[in-house]
């Protein structure tokens, strides 16, 4: 995940700082040299790094810090504050106009994640009660329209398309339809190119004139490193952008763009893409990102994602069932599905404090274990899921063969299930005990 290297390096600088009771100005300056290297290696722009380190050093060598009881902690806090400042203090929201519809024009280079993120945005706003319409104005890549239709269907949002005709016409007609049908939010997926060229910019400028967008959002792939900032600057100069969506932060990118975009272009990052799934998308909160970079985790985003994806009705149904009938393997499968709705195991774990110490292999084996468990439960009959104690050696062999696993895996699953059941009983749930009934099994 992004920032892994940076997190690790800053972690070791801070460990040294904290390990000393007293700090001298020379200690701070030495540490800042390492911070500077770490930031440069993470692809943060040179000028940004220079200013950042200068600010942190100036604040850190003051008497109030060096003479305090915990100088190391104070320096870390200053780094944290300055990181937040660099990324923009608070999450900036979309500029909704007083008169609907709000028109968002998405632009960006080909492959940056424009189409995917048009659908992610639409899904998020739909969940918040808006009525979005997506306009397919990326007409050069024949597959682009189909791709938009596929992701839009997943997001349950309509798409306006007219095939591969002049995108200016499509946008005009699409906006008319949005007015006729009362869509309060229109998201235009425009064409991308491999490189910025004049023809593309002219087309985008025309669309801007026709659509009068409330917000021009530039979609930038974090994996292109320093170039992300260059792309943002070029689009801003040629077209004028309002904000940035930084995508693929889940991947093995060094993440420097997240720290440089605002400082270099003056345009805030409003959202970040953390995966291919539509829910792997978050408003960009500078203070939470800083906390992730410093290895302090991001519990707030995790909680937000859980409340958005966990179906409360389902949860209540489960609680009732646990109390009356007890916990069986169907419930375990349901729970696993709920967790998966929150995103990949990897993206969830990465928000936990200390996650930067977990290796990619650990994450992948966690993901694989989850898939294996799901396959085993799917290979069981209804009766076996409801009453796992009937699973004898013969059934175990069948389940293992059906799910491509080993009997020892099935044994392990059943053991885990027993342990969970016992734990729930001890907590007073799932054993049917609360109602004075004896547990059914």
Q: Binding site for GTP: residue ranges?
A: 108-115, 189-193, 247-250
Among 59, 114, 254, 288, binds ligand GDP (CB under 6 A): 114
Among 158, 192, 268, 343, binds ligand GDP (CB under 6 A): 192
Q: Is 233 in the site for ligand GDP (CB under 6 A)?
A: no
Q: Is 247 in the site for ligand GDP (CB under 6 A)?
A: yes
Q: How far apart are CA 215 and CA 188, in angstroms?
A: 11
Q: Would you state the structure tokens that stand for residue 25, as one six-digit string?
A: 């100005």
Give 86 or 274: the residue with its C-beta nearer to ligand GDP. 274
Give 247 or 265: the residue with its C-beta nearer to ligand GDP. 247
Q: Which residues pair with 245 in a beta bridge?
A: 219, 271
Nearest to 112 by CA among 222, 258, 269: 222
Q: Is 374 in the site for ligand GDP (CB under 6 A)?
A: no
Q: Is 267 in the site for ligand GDP (CB under 6 A)?
A: no
Q: How far apart are CA 398 and CA 380, in angstroms?
A: 9
Three-state SS for 52?
A: helix
Q: Is 275 in the site for ligand GDP (CB under 6 A)?
A: yes
Among 71, 88, 108, 295, binds ligand GDP (CB under 6 A): 108
Q: How far apart are CA 113 and CA 107, in angstroms?
A: 10
Q: Is 116 in the site for ligand GDP (CB under 6 A)?
A: yes
Q: Is 276 in the site for ligand GDP (CB under 6 A)?
A: yes
Give 224 or 274: the residue with its C-beta nearer to ligand GDP. 274
Q: How far is the CB of 108 from ligand GDP (least distance, A)?
A: 6
Q: Which residues pair with 134 in a beta bridge?
A: 159, 187
Q: How far apart are CA 136 and CA 203, in angstroms?
A: 14
Among 167, 256, 273, 430, binds ligand GDP (CB under 6 A): 273
Q: How far apart are CA 108 and CA 273, in angstroms?
A: 14
Q: Would you state the structure tokens that stand for residue 217, as one six-digit string?
A: 């959002």
Phi and psi at residue 161, to the nearest 5°: -145, 155
Q: How far apart are CA 119 and CA 132, in angstroms?
A: 10
Q: Is 277 in the site for ligand GDP (CB under 6 A)?
A: no
Residue 77: Cβ within 10 Å count: 15
Q: How far is the CB of 124 from ligand GDP (least distance, A)?
A: 14
Residue nearest to ligand GDP (CB): 273
Q: Is 203 in the site for ligand GDP (CB under 6 A)?
A: no
Give 141 or 371: the residue with its C-beta nearer to ligand GDP. 141
What Å distances lie between residue 57 and 22, 78, 123, 399, CA to CA? Answer: 16, 9, 43, 62
Q: Which stretch binds ligand GDP (CB under 6 A): 104-112, 369-377, 399-407, 420-428?
A: 104-112
Interface positions with ligand GDP (CB under 6 A): 108, 110-116, 147, 192, 247-248, 250-251, 273-276
């Amino acid at each position: 995940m992004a920032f892994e290297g940076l997190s690790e390096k800053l972690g070791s600088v801070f460990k040294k700082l904290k390990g000393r009771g007293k700090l001298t100005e020379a200690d701070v300056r030495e540490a800042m040299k390492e911070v500077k290297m770490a930031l440069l290696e993470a692809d943060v722009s040179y000028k940004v790094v220079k200013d950042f380190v200068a600010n942190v050093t100036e604040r850190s060598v003051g008497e109030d810090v060096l003479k305090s009881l915990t100088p190391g902690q104070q320096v870390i806090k200053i780094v944290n504050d300055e990181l937040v400042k660099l990324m923009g203090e608070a999450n900036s929201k979309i500029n909704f106009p007083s008169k609907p519809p709000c028109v968002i024009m998405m632009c960006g280079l080909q492959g940056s994640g424009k189409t995917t993120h048009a659908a992610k945005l639409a899904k998020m706003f739909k969940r918040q009660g808006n009525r979005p319409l997506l306009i397919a104005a990326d007409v050069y890549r024949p597959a682009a329209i189909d791709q938009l239709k596929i992701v839009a269907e997943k997001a349950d949002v309509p798409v306006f398309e007219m095939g591969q005709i002049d995108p200016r016409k499509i946008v005009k007609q699409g906006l008319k339809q949005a007015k006729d049908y009362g869509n309060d939010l229109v998201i235009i997926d425009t064409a991308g190119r491999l490189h910025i060229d004049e023809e593309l910019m002219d087309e985008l400028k025309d669309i801007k004139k026709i659509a009068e967008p409330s917000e021009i959002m530039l979609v930038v792939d974090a994996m292109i490193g320093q170039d992300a900032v260059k792309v943002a600057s070029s689009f801003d100069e040629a077209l004028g952008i309002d904000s940035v969506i930084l995508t693929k932060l889940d991947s093995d990118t060094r993440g420097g763009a997240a720290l440089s975009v605002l400082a270099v272009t003056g345009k805030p990052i409003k959202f970040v893409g953390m995966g291919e799934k539509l829910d792997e998308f978050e408003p960009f909160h500078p203070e939470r990102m800083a906390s992730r970079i410093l290895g302090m985790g991001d519990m707030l985003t995790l909680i937000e994602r859980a409340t958005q994806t966990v179906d409360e009705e389902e949860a209540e149904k489960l609680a009732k069932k646990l109390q009356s009938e007890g916990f069986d393997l169907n419930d375990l499968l349901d729970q696993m599905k709920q967790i998966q709705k929150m995103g990949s195991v990897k993206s969830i774990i990465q928000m936990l404090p200390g996650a930067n110490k977990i290796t990619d292999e650990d994450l992948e084996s966690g993901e694989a274990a989850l898939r294996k468990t799901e396959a085993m439960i799917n290979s069981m009959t209804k009766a076996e899921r409801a009453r796992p104690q009937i699973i004898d050696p013969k059934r175990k062999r069948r389940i293992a063969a059906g799910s491509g696993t080993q009997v020892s895996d099935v044994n392990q699953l059943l053991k885990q299930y027993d342990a969970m059941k016992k734990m729930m009983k001890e907590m007073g749930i799932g054993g049917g005990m609360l109602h004075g009934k004896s547990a059914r099994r």
